[in-house]
Structure 1
Amino acid sequence: MRLGYLTHVTGDDPARAYRETVELAVHAEELGYDSFWVAQHHDGHLGGRLASPLVLLAAAAERTRLIRLGTAAVALPLEDPRRLAEDAAALDALSGGRLELGIGVGADPTASQRFGRRHDDRRADTLATLDVLLELLPTALAEQRTWWATASSSDAAADRGLGLLSGKPAVDGSGGVPDLARYWTYARGVPRVALSRPLPAGHSTGRIIDDLLADAALPWAGEVVVQAQPATATADVHREVMERTARYVRPFLGVAGPAHPPPVPQADDEPDDDVPLLRPRPVLRTAR
């Protein structure tokens, strides 16, 4: 099971927030994290200071050697696909093929307005932009390291062979399993699932471990991307959460993701009788 870390890049001083985020990427690599992700927020939405994640990740790429660098996620309806493809390709080359390009529909109606877009049209705009983007990206990046970030439907990811960065909360007991089952069943190419999971302030290490191991979505994932909560946590809090997770939580997550998906779609998601469920149930491997 791979482990990643996500930050929303917050703080009163953007310059300081950017410098601290680069240092967090370096520290994550030192602790053995597999990936480091930054969120995009326009105009300080939700306290986030980073509108241009690829620029910041370029700085992180110069300070790191191995860790994969991800966007979680670029609001695709607000982007020009050719401009984004050019910037992503440049960063991917600069980093030695370490970019993980997470894209999504965007959740900020104010940003849509300021970019001259209709927020209600964001899903259709995302799909139209995505199809152009995938044609322009380098093949390896488009086919192996582009992710659909979502807390709801995964159909777009399955149809286009994208990885799924799922933020569907586990608190309802399902952890988004019906949608993950649908994704695993219909995904074009090799399914890739990363779970985005918050680590709330005040929760003990034991509770965090118990909650993660009880997460119904965990057997479906090859990576867990954790983030300190609240999202506006200071750099010191991020470092503490990073260190505690790497040292004490990661061993309980096991050494591998699912061998195969467990196709258990709900009744309203049942495929046609002539469409086989392609893969058997996976086994979650926990550390001994």
Structure 2
Amino acid sequence: MRLGYLTHVTGDDPSRAYRETIRLAERAEELGYDSFWVAQHHDGHLGGRLPSPLVLLAAVAERTRLIRLGTAVVALPLEDPRRLAEDAGVLDALSGGRLELGIGAGADPDAARRFGRHHDDRHRDTVAALDVLLEMLPPALAAQRVWWATATPSSVDAAAARGVGVLSGRPPSSDDDVVSELARYWTYARGVPRVALSRPLPAGHSTGRIIDDLLADPALPWAGEIVVQAQPSTVRADVHDEVMERAARFVRPFLGVAGPAHGPSVVEEVDTDEPTPAMRPRPVVRPHR
């Protein structure tokens, strides 16, 4: 099980928000996080200040060495997939193959209108753009490090058919059967299934409550990575620091998340043929025919 951290890059001053995000990424690497993710927001939607995540991650790549760098997520229907593939390829080369490219349909109808797109067509447009994107990306990135933030049945099935990972930010509930969608994804995914759960860590909750909530999450057994974020997403940089350190030092051990995957001590101390948690087979649920 891997551990990642997500920030929405908020604040009144964009330049300060970008500098603080770079510092947060450096701190995440120091704390042993496996990945660091940034969210894309156009025109300050939901307080986010980052419309161009690959540009900022290029700066992060120059200040870090090992941590994987993720987008959570790029609104694919608003992008030229060929142009996005070119920019992603440059960043992946610059970072030494550390890019985790998360895409989604987008949730901001105003941004769709300003880009000349129809928001109601976003799911169909995402599938069409994704097929072009996967064809244009460097092969290793396309095959192993593209993620789709979705929980709709049709999109989960499309991700499985294309060998794309699923980034799930919707917690399971009685009226939102995410677990069954993840089970079907694991059953039919082409290649190795990849599921990452994005989960909020409310700044005011105790460490014990956070651990209990995460361990009780029925989607947890289907995931190979948990990407945590401070809530609310507009918290100050010092709150990000506190949440990030608390999760790394106290929450991580209870989730069975091993130390940094890139650390040499992990390789030296573990001598087994058992598959890693991220690769361990999950239960298979097949529909009756």
Work out the CA distance in 1 between the residues paired with 2:4 and 2:152. 21
Question: What residue is the counterpart of 1:250 in the other structure?
Answer: 252
Question: What residue is the counterpart of 1:159 in the other structure?
Answer: 161
Work out the CA distance in 2 between the residues paired with 1:84 and 1:168. 26
**TM-score, reference length from structure 1:** 0.90
Work out the CA distance in 1 between the residues paired with 2:68 and 2:227. 12
Q: Are positions 1:15 and 2:15 aligned together?
A: yes
Question: What residue is the counterpart of 1:259 in the other structure?
Answer: 280
Question: What residue is the counterpart of 1:221 in the other structure?
Answer: 223
**2:20 match: secondary structure:** helix
Query: Shift of residue 258 of structure 1?
Result: 6.0
Checking the alignment, whether the CA contact within 8 Å between 1:71 and 1:103 is kept in structure 2 is: yes
**TM-score, reference length from structure 2:** 0.90
Work out the CA distance in 2 between the residues paired with 1:174 and 1:125. 24
Structure 2 CA distance for partners of 1:174 and 1:80, relative to 1, 3 Å: closer
Work out the CA distance in 2 between the residues paired with 1:271 and 1:134. 32
Question: What residue is the counterpart of 2:47 in the other structure?
Answer: 47
Work out the CA distance in 2 between the residues paired with 1:15 and 1:175. 40
Work out the CA distance in 2 between the residues paired with 1:162 and 1:258. 15
Q: Counterparts in 2 of 1:181-260, with a 5 A limit?
A: 181-254=183-256, 255=258, 256-257=277-278, 259-260=280-281
2:16 corresponds to which letter in structure 1?
Answer: R
Question: What residue is the counterpart of 1:68 in the other structure?
Answer: 68
**2:181 match: secondary structure:** helix
Structure 2 CA distance for partners of 1:178 and 1:50, relative to 1, 3 Å: same
Work out the CA distance in 1 between the residues paired with 2:89 and 2:173. 37
Checking the alignment, whether the CA contact within 8 Å between 2:203 and 2:243 is kept in structure 1 is: no
Work out the CA distance in 2 between the residues paired with 1:200 and 1:244. 12
Structure 2 CA distance for partners of 1:236 and 1:70, relative to 1, 3 Å: same
Query: Shift of residue 263 of structure 1?
Result: 2.2
After superposition, the C-alpha distances for 1:202-256 in whole angstroms (9 at most, x for unaligned) are: 1100000111111101111110000000010111110100000000000011143
Checking the alignment, whether the CA contact within 8 Å between 1:92 and 1:98 is kept in structure 2 is: yes
Work out the CA distance in 2 between the residues paired with 1:200 and 1:166. 18
Query: Shift of residue 264 of structure 1?
Result: 3.3
Checking the alignment, whether the CA contact within 8 Å between 1:149 and 1:165 is kept in structure 2 is: yes
Aligned length: 268
Checking the alignment, whether the CA contact within 8 Å between 2:6 and 2:36 is kept in structure 1 is: yes
Q: Please, which moves more after superposition, 174-183 or 220-229?
A: 174-183
Work out the CA distance in 2 between the residues paired with 1:189 and 1:258. 11
2:229 corresponds to which letter in structure 1?
Answer: Q
**1:188 match: secondary structure:** coil
Query: Shift of residue 174 of structure 1?
Result: 7.2
Question: What residue is the counterpart of 1:127 in the other structure?
Answer: 127
Question: What residue is the counterpart of 1:143 in the other structure?
Answer: 143
Q: Which runs of 5+ in 1 are unaligned?
A: 273-288
Query: Shift of residue 55 of structure 1?
Result: 0.2
RMSD between superposed Cα atoms in Å: 1.4
**1:116 match: secondary structure:** coil
**2:284 match: secondary structure:** coil
Query: Shift of residue 175 of structure 1?
Result: 6.8
Structure 2 CA distance for partners of 1:175 and 1:56, relative to 1, 3 Å: farther
Query: Shift of residue 271 of structure 1?
Result: 5.2
Work out the CA distance in 2 between the residues paired with 1:16 and 1:199. 23
Work out the CA distance in 2 between the residues paired with 1:72 and 1:104. 8
Work out the CA distance in 2 between the residues paired with 1:145 and 1:183. 16
Checking the alignment, whether the CA contact within 8 Å between 2:163 and 2:190 is kept in structure 1 is: yes
2:140 corresponds to which letter in structure 1?
Answer: A
Query: Shift of residue 171 of structure 1?
Result: 4.8
Work out the CA distance in 2 between the residues paired with 1:133 and 1:174. 29
Query: Runs of at least 4 residues of structure 1 off by over 2 A?
Result: 170-175, 255-258
Query: Shift of residue 150 of structure 1?
Result: 1.5
Identity %: 78
Work out the CA distance in 2 between the residues paired with 1:174 and 1:152. 10
1:264 corresponds to which letter in structure 2?
Answer: V
Checking the alignment, whether the CA contact within 8 Å between 2:183 and 2:283 is kept in structure 1 is: yes
Checking the alignment, whether the CA contact within 8 Å between 1:42 and 1:48 is kept in structure 2 is: yes
Query: Shift of residue 201 of structure 1?
Result: 2.3
Q: Please, which moves more after superposition, 166-175 or 189-198?
A: 166-175
